[in-house]
Structure 1
Amino acid sequence: MRRRRPIHLPRPLQDRLDAATRAFIQADRRFVADFTSPAGEPAFTGPDSISWQVFKNPLSLFVGGVAAVILELAEPRVRAGVWGHSTFRGDPLERIRRTGLSAMMTVYGARSRSEQMIRRVVAMHARINGTTDDGMPYRADDPELLRWVQATASFGFLEAYDAWVHPVDEVARSRFHKEGVEAARLYGAHDTPRTGHERDLYFAMMRDRLEASSVIFEFLDIVRGVRLLPRPLAGVQEMLVKAAIEILPEWVRERLSLGAAWDLRPWQRLLIRRAGAIIDRIPLRAAPPAQACRRLGLPEDYLYAR
């Protein structure tokens, strides 16, 4: 993927963005989000990986995360586990924050800290089980369901970056999928797709298991309304939710009844692409990508100067 020079903002604006980033990361005292130590310790993948490039963009992370959750909720057993055993309805901002930090730690965190976090998540999953409204039993640690969750996350983040930031070629796509295999295995997801072709075949295999649900529309209402951006930018948040729906395969949208009302206007697509490309060039000192680079002795803007 072709890189351009980083954009260094005026100091007052940069300080405000760093402060907001730091507040978001450190808001949950139960999760020590330190990406700067132990000094020199590598993550699951390195700073020259595709994953480190893709996960550094907050716009595509939000879009990709929404798309991934839509796909998760389309599978009835995953939907029952996610919706019945999470705080999303009561405190959506906190759930978004924890989920985002978990993804950041898996990509940028020192390996020992990432493995420690993954063990906690695996232990939590082991306690979650139940029955869907249709009587199907489920367990959150079921490898089959974890495989779907991992595949949908990879789909969301990669396709959001490709659509709204920079195109990703087939070689880079294959690298991205392979980079996630080891961490996925530790979470309990096995036989995860290693190429885009394998992912497409897997999605086709899952087609008949996916279904529309009122929960999906409840999720979309929540994520459109939760205050992630300042009030003057609330309309942008609405557009980003639609951008997530636009990257879904057409057959998925039809199956989930996400029709033309969820389409972006041409000028909105252009705006999101321009914003995504610009944001991709702005280093945030307090964000996990810059912190991880410092841990490895690299400049804070290393990922933005390639």
Structure 2
Amino acid sequence: MPPKNNPIAKRFEQAFDADIRSKFFKGLDFAGPQGDPGWFGPGSAVWHVHSHLPALVLGLVSAAYIEGLDPSISWMAYDHSRLVERADGIPTGNVDPTGGAVRLGHSISFFIGTAYGSTPTAERLARTVRAMHHTIKGTRPDGLAYDADDPEWLRWNYATVVWGLATAHERYHRRPLQDIDRYYREFVRVGEALGGTDLPATKAETAECLESYLPRLAVTPIKAFATGPNLRHSKAKPWEPGSEFMDWAARDMLPRWAQKLALYQPPNPVVLRLRRASLWAALNGLHDAAGPLPEFRQAQTRAGGKKASPFISTAPTTPDPVLTREEIEATA
């Protein structure tokens, strides 16, 4: 645990409690029932990877970047997401900082809750996300339909997320897993719970899956407006999503083919090493100062050393009820 008089740890805990925990962790149970390891349990790769919150957040930012290279996802966000600023319900083309914070809060809640929450908590979170996906359907300006329940979209979305989280862990965690494929294999449970099928289960399979989508990817105007030089006057702080530095960090983590698509040119080798080293030091310094989240410690006590069964499928077995977005948000 971090020293109680550590000012960095204190400020981080206060900010996390005010901005994330109090708003997005409502109804999540990490302390009970006793003996429940949840979906993963002590000693799992998921517990190790997700325990480093700063690297987890960076992984989510990078995953969101590569995810948005799919034009359908760009238009899903434009038509349905809080990320997009709206005037009288009409998208303006700008990013809504408040909406971005809400999306990040829900994402952190989901990936902390499914990792360390009780089994009922993880199942509830998955049902909520599936219900929201059921509401995201529409048509792109070019006439192509999009549907968040499309198995191909679910597979792409899953691959971007597990790739982002694993890549951030490998590059920026102080003690990265020696066998990263163990994380990829375990994380399939999350993808299956969201309705995904035929999911990649290793680092190599995930890389192959992502590159296989290249013919259908593109940098849309929506994507271009929120990246690179267009963020030079962003009001976001350097460590926040939407800032120029975090945009650089996300694109720096992309596979080389995706970097070319995003017109990313790495700086000279000296500057590149300096930037990566500075980010590594900042992320690990924050993690070391703050220490494990209370939810992680509660899960350790709840599980009592009991590990989750590796054979239990989390795939939904019955159809979900059809809910409106308002009904879903009311129960989230």
**TM-score scaled by structure 2?**
0.76
Query: Which among 35, 38, 45 is matched to residue 40 of structure 1?
Result: 35
Amino acid in the other structure paired with 1:199: T
168, 172, 183: which one pairs with 2:190? 183
Report whether the alignment pairs 1:258 with 2:264: yes
Please tell me whether the aligned partners of residues 31 and 301 of structure 2 are also in contact (alpha carbons under 8 angstroms).
Answer: yes
Identity of aligned residues (%): 25
Q: Please list the CA deviations of residues 70-116 of structure 1 after superposition, one character each: whole Å capped at 9, or x if unmatched.
A: 11111122222233211112321111111221121121111111101
Query: Which residue, 200, 203, 220 being the options, matches 1:213?
Result: 220
Aligned to 1:302: none
1:226–1:141: structure 2 CA closer, same or farther, 3 Å change rule? Answer: farther
Amino acid in the other structure paired with 1:69: A
Aligned residue identity for 1:99:
S
Per the alignment, do residues 218 and 48 of structure 1 end up closer, same or farther by CA in structure 2, a change over 3 Å counting?
farther
TM-score (norm 1): 0.82
Match of 1:240 among 238, 246, 267: 246
Contact 2:24 2:106 in 1 (8 A): no
Name 1:11's counterpart in structure 2: 5
Q: Equivalent of 2:118, from 110, 113, 120?
A: 110
- Decide whether aligned partners of structure 1 residues 226 and 94 sit closer, same or farther in structure 2, where only a CA change above 3 A counts: farther
Aligned mates of 1:288, 1:256 — CA distance in 2: 37
Residues paired across the two proteins, number: 288
- Verify the 8 A CA contact 2:47 2:115 in the aligned structure 1: yes
Whole-Å separation in 2 of the counterparts to 1:188 and 1:277: 34
Higher normalized helix content (fraction of residues): 1
- Post-superposition CA distance 1:135-167 (Å, at most 9, x none): 111111112101111110011011011112247
Q: Counterparts in 2 of 1:124-273, with a 5 A limit? A: 124-166=132-174, 168=176, 172-220=179-227, 225=234, 227=236, 238-260=244-266, 265-273=272-280
CA RMSD between the two structures: 3.0
Structure 1 unaligned spans of 5+: 1-6, 299-306
Residue number in structure 1 paired with 2:16: 21
TM alignment of 1:46-85, pairs within 5 A? 46-85=41-80
Cα distance per residue 1:170-204 (max 9 Å; x no partner): x6221111101122111011111111111122122
After superposition, give the CA deviation of every residue in 1:272-296 in whole Å (9 maximum; x if it has no partner): 1223333444454654323322333
The gaps in structure 2 that reach 5 residues or longer are: 85-95, 306-332
Q: Confirm or deny: 8 A CA contact 2:25 2:109 kept in the other structure.
A: no
